Structure formats: C-alpha cells, structure tokens
Amino acid sequence: MAGNTFGVMFTVTTWGESHGAAIGAVIDGCPPRMPLVESDIQEDLNRRKPGGGRSASPRKEDDVVEILSGTFEGKTTGTPISLIIYNKSARSKDYDAYREVFRPGHGDFTYDRKYGIRDHRGGGRASGRETAARVAAGAIAKKILQQEGITAVACTKELGGIVAESSELAAIGQNELYCPDAAAAQRMMKKLSEAKKDGDSLGGIVEIIVRGCPPGLGEPVFDKIDADLAKALMSIGTVKGVEIGAGFQASRMTGSQCNDPITPDGFLSNNAGGILAGITTGQDIVIRVACKPIASIEKEQATVDSAGNPTTISVTGRHDVSVIPRIIPVCEAMVAVTLADHLLRRKPLSL
C-alpha cells in the first residue's frame, strides 16, 4: 500500500516516469471472458493525446498501448492485465535546466523533501504523463461498466472563468473542448489563445455525469461511493476540489430546498447527485472537479534552487495552456475505475 495502487476488488497499479523507458498499469480483478483488444484502450488514449486544440502541447506522443498479459484469444482470462506504453519522444535534455531548481506549483520541492532524490525530467513520477496509464486502465473499467449499461462522460463546465450554461452531453462531441455549450466553447478557445500569448495558463471545471448506475453501489461508512470518487479524482495532480450533486451550493440551501422529494416515479430533483448516505440512488451521478491552471508557464516566477538560493524560472518547452480538455478522459477513467471496483465489491443479495 505504498500509494500506487487504487481499488479493492478491481485494482489498478500504475508505474513509470515521464522520461523513463515506459509507463504502464497492471489491472487485477477484471472479470474473465470479456472481449478486450488494444484498440478498445487506444481510443481513449488518443483522446488524451496532445495536438488537438489550442490548449494542447505540440509534443507528439504516440502513446501506443500494448497488452502484455491477462487476455487469451481476445478475451480476458481473469488474471492480471499488464499494459505498457513506451515513452518514445522523451527529450530529456529539455529538462536539464530544471535539475537543480524547483518549479513553482510542481512536485519538485515536495518530492525532494520526501525522497531526497528525484527524476527531474518532466516531473518524473509526478508528471501529468502518469495519467495515460490511468486512462488505459479506465478504458477497461468502462468496458465492465458497459456490460451493466453504465456510462461515465465528462465535459468542460468552465474554463478560464467562462461558464458553460448547458450540461447537454449531446453537444460535447461538437467542439474540441468537450464543452456542452458551443458558444461558451468559442469564448474559451479565445481565452486560451490569449493566455498562450501571455505565457500564462488557465484552469477550469470538469463535470462528470454517470448514467445507468443501479441503486445500491457503495459501502458504509468510510468507503462511501462519493468518498471513493472524491479520492479517485483528487488523486489527479491538477484537481483542487471535488463536489457531488449540488456540492458547495448545497451548503447555502435549506433542507426543504436541498432534499430531493421521492415519488413513485422516482426523485423529483437531484441535489444529492445520485448518492444518499454514500450509496447510489439509481439517478445520474453528478460530480464536478476544480482544475488548477497548469503550473508550467513561460512567465518568470520566483523560486529557489536545490541549495536554497533564490532564482527565477521561465518554464519553456512543450506545455499545454490548460489541462482541459486533455484531463477529460482522465476524469472519466478515474470515475469508471471507482465504479467498476464498487460493482465488483457489491455482494449479491443472496450468496
């Protein structure tokens, strides 16, 4: 339990550094006899790939995934599935300048304090690149959910302070920001372009909506499904806040406003976000996460070097302007992994 494994019955262990030989994941607990080939996974990896929108970094990653174990003739066998993605375009030299200096907003300082050693190249283990392994594992989790009729879809709810007024998932395929509000998406793109010109970066809010989830998932009292979702999402480096349903807004409601009335035809509202007392109600699960602006910016910042001396830094290189939209499939993956785990932890009502 040294921190690189997630889950109880469906476990994901990730490994690898940004500029090492490869990154990968071992998925244990996947049900047997489920069809699974590389292309099932590759699709989500491609959605995470840079090079799409203005928000994206010019680094060309192929991110080709290979399945090394756990399948036989195109089907899962119930044994661990090992996935590997080789690091092809790693230009370690790009990072020589950061070997002895702590980039503000990054894990450079804390890894140094924790381990007394760090792979400085691209953030090493703390790099956003690590999330590719999560996306790959998430694609397998999604296939499990699919068998149960469950989908987990994320979209851009806010970027650089610009709010998407709609949550219409049908619209999100129409723009490269996965934004349900086309007009807002255009303004977001403009804002990204400006931030890039300024050598600065932007944050935003991602909303994840789970449909088709049966009631009864989640465990009392510490492993509530919202607790596990919060952990799953907060474990993404960029995330600084998580809310469920009405979330922070619920704290400003009265009980009579916030409680979702129940009728024979179902709940009349969904302030609970599909979860009551940590267990799913069968309604949509609604989650929002706050993503901080990308820490790597060209703008000069004050910092110190390893020896503790003051210096300044301008982080150049192939950096995105915002984690949105690349973080979208990562959020989906972590939600899918959490739900697959709880599906497999669920006990049948009768043994």
Give residues 91-150 in contact with a second copy (rule: CB under 8 A).
102, 104-107, 109-111, 113-119, 123-126, 130, 144, 147-148
Tell me how many residues contact a second copy (CB under 8 A): 157
Q: Which stretch binds a second copy (CB under 8 A): 40-48, 57-65, 176-184, 237-245?
A: 237-245
**CA–CA distance, 339 with 171 (Å, rounded to integer):** 25
* Shortest CB 65 distance to a second copy, Å: 13
* Shortest CB 43 distance to a second copy, Å: 21
Give the angle subtended at the CA of 103 by the CAs of 316 and 334, to the nearest 5°.
Answer: 95
Q: Considering beta carbons, is residue 8 or 171 the nearer one to a second copy?
A: 8
Residue type, 152: A
Helix (H) or strand (E) holding 162: strand 162-163
Q: And the tokens for 269?
A: 């509202």
* Shortest CB 36 distance to a second copy, Å: 12
Q: Which stretch binds a second copy (CB under 8 A): 47-55, 180-188, 242-250, 325-333?
A: 242-250
**CA–CA distance, 117 with 266 (Å, rounded to integer):** 55
* Shortest CB 88 distance to a second copy, Å: 14
Q: Considering beta carbons, is residue 193 or 249 the nearer one to a second copy?
A: 249
Half-sphere exposure of residue 191, counting CA atoms within 13 Å on the CB side?
Answer: 20
Half-sphere exposure of residue 144, counting CA atoms within 13 Å on the CB side?
Answer: 26
Q: Considering beta carbons, is residue 115 or 170 the nearer one to a second copy?
A: 115
The strand pair at 204-211 and 75-76 is best described as unpaired
> Where in 197-216 is the site for a second copy (CB under 8 A)?
198, 200-205, 215-216
Q: What binding mask, one character per residue, do residues 157-176 give for a second copy by CB under 8 A, x or -?
A: -x-xx---------------
**CA–CA distance, 230 with 224 (Å, rounded to integer):** 10
Which residues on adjacent β-strands are paired with residue 33? none
> Where in 330-349 is the site for a second copy (CB under 8 A)?
343-345, 347-349
Q: What binding mask, one character per residue, do residues 63-92 give for a second copy by CB under 8 A, x or -?
A: ---x-xxx-x--xxxxxxxx-x--------
> Where in 179-198 is the site for a second copy (CB under 8 A)?
195, 198
CB-based burial of residue 151 (10 Å sphere; 0-12 exposed, 13-18 middle, 19+ buried)?
middle
Orientation angle between helical segments 38-48 and 327-345, nearest 10 degrees? 140
**CA–CA distance, 223 with 280 (Å, rounded to integer):** 12
Largest CA distance in the chain: 67
> Where in 245-274 is the site for a second copy (CB under 8 A)?
245-264, 268, 271-273
Q: Considering beta carbons, is residue 62 or 66 the nearer one to a second copy?
A: 66
Orientation angle between helical segments 225-234 and 327-345, nearest 10 degrees? 150
- Determine which residue in the list 210, 228, 285, 333 makes contact with a second copy, applying CB under 8 A: 228
Q: Considering beta carbons, is residue 70 or 325 the nearer one to a second copy?
A: 70
Q: Is 348 left (phi over 0), alpha (psi -120 to 50) or beta?
A: beta
Place of tokens 């049908």: 170
- Say whether residue 243 binds a second copy (CB under 8 A): yes
- Determine which residue in the list 171, 241, 317, 318 makes contact with a second copy, applying CB under 8 A: 241
> Where in 7-66 is the site for a second copy (CB under 8 A)?
8-17, 20-24, 26, 28-29, 31-33, 66
- CB atoms under 10 Å from CB of 274, counted, come to 26
Q: Considering beta carbons, is residue 35 or 173 the nearer one to a second copy?
A: 35
* Shortest CB 60 distance to a second copy, Å: 22
Q: What binding mask, one character per residue, do residues 269-308 give for a second copy by CB under 8 A, x or -?
A: --xxx-xxxxxxxx-------xxxxxxxx-x-xxxx---x
Q: Residue 7: phi, psi to the nearest 5?
A: 105, 165
